[in-house]
Copies of this chain bind each other. A is one copy, B any other.
């Protein structure tokens, strides 16, 4: 690993483009001075913003790009017009070529995933990518995956999600053997989708040394922090994530209007200002902004398209951590160990099975 973490930024992504992305990158740089940036974007849009951010400018190389990926194009369209020349593609390309350690974009999720997959290719042993998010919980944070990379998952993919999520949790939370749960609609063994039940069986019976499988968890276990890693397929995971975001906003809205209703409540609010500030920070979705694309030969971070500078900075921070703590090699090691454990378990099981059959 180089001395500095080298971060490729797609400056044109997100609802606000360079005006949010670049100040966000500078915030992250201030927190992690051992960072340098490759910034891809349109000179006319990026130049003026970069001129107002001297700290970032001093640590950045700017590369002009003609093409920007639109937020609502289909992945296939984006690949057609954006390959080889868009800011998004070139940020990923920098990772591919080893010029950067990680790419960060707030752009079109589908396009970013399609380009990452097309260009970086999947890691050995992984067939489909996943997006992992950090979820604030009553105990701290948990890794939740997949929150929307692919729809549906068979039992083998769910087990690989557990392996990848376990590796990410080891890095993010610095725990030797994180706990893992499978998201289901009831904790009884009888419930749920066949593939979830089957994945549960493999995880329970397998000898996974890198994480500690705890069984099924339900939707309300995510916020409780019952396990360090919550594994689910992308459709349900995305719905869970957005439903939680919606509920948090709803609660904040109720609280605001309750506190404005009477002068006594307003006075109480003034006295409790500091406490409300703590609460706001706890529930701030910007603090946990950033989805990590897992399963690729390279690290790509997706920031929420509507993120502000603080939110984008959190996504850059996450990319920084993934590189500093060597996510890819840890996933690779976990995969290798777990595959080995499964292979030797099968080798032991084989003679017994044929003994029974004969």
> A192 to chain B: which residues have CB within 8 Å?
151, 235
Stretch among A54-62, A81-89, A121-129, A242-250 lining the B interface: A242-250
Chain A contact surface mostly: helix
Interface residue A261 (Cβ < 8 Å from any Cβ of B): yes
A195, chain B: closest CB distance, angstroms:
11
Q: Are B190 and A219 in contact (CB under 8 A)?
A: no
| Docked CA distance A255–B138 (Å) | 12
Q: Are A254 and B272 in contact (CB under 8 A)?
A: no
Stretch among A91-99, A167-175, A273-281, A350-358 lining the B interface: A273-281
A130, chain B: closest CB distance, angstroms:
14
Q: Are A246 and B275 in contact (CB under 8 A)?
A: no
> A240 to chain B: which residues have CB within 8 Å?
219, 239-240, 243
Known: A190-B74, A250-B224, A274-B262. A185 touches B279 (CB 8 A): no
Interface residue A67 (Cβ < 8 Å from any Cβ of B): no
- Candidate in A72, A190, A235 with the most chain B CB atoms within 10 angstroms: A235
Q: Are B193 and A151 in contact (CB under 8 A)?
A: yes
Q: Are A258 and B246 in contact (CB under 8 A)?
A: no
Task: Count how many chain A residues have C-beta atoms less than 8 Å from C-beta atoms of the other chain.
Answer: 66
| Docked CA distance A93–B117 (Å) | 56
Q: Are A238 and B275 in contact (CB under 8 A)?
A: no
> A241 to chain B: which residues have CB within 8 Å?
219
> A245 to chain B: which residues have CB within 8 Å?
219-220
Q: Are B247 and A248 in contact (CB under 8 A)?
A: yes
Within 8 A of B (CB), among A218-276: 218-224, 232, 234-236, 238-255, 258-259, 261-262, 264-265, 267-276
| Docked CA distance A241–B223 (Å) | 13
A324, chain B: closest CB distance, angstroms:
29
Interface residue A204 (Cβ < 8 Å from any Cβ of B): no
Binding site for B on A (CB under 8 A): 72, 74, 110, 136-138, 148, 151-152, 183, 185-186, 188, 190-193, 218-224, 232, 234-236, 238-255, 258-259, 261-262, 264-265, 267-276, 278-279, 282-283
20 chain-A/chain-B pairs, Cβ below 8 angstroms: A74-B188, A110-B191, A185-B238, A193-B235, A222-B243, A223-B250, A244-B244, A251-B251, A251-B252, A255-B255, A258-B278, A259-B272, A261-B278, A262-B275, A264-B271, A264-B272, A267-B268, A267-B271, A268-B271, A268-B273
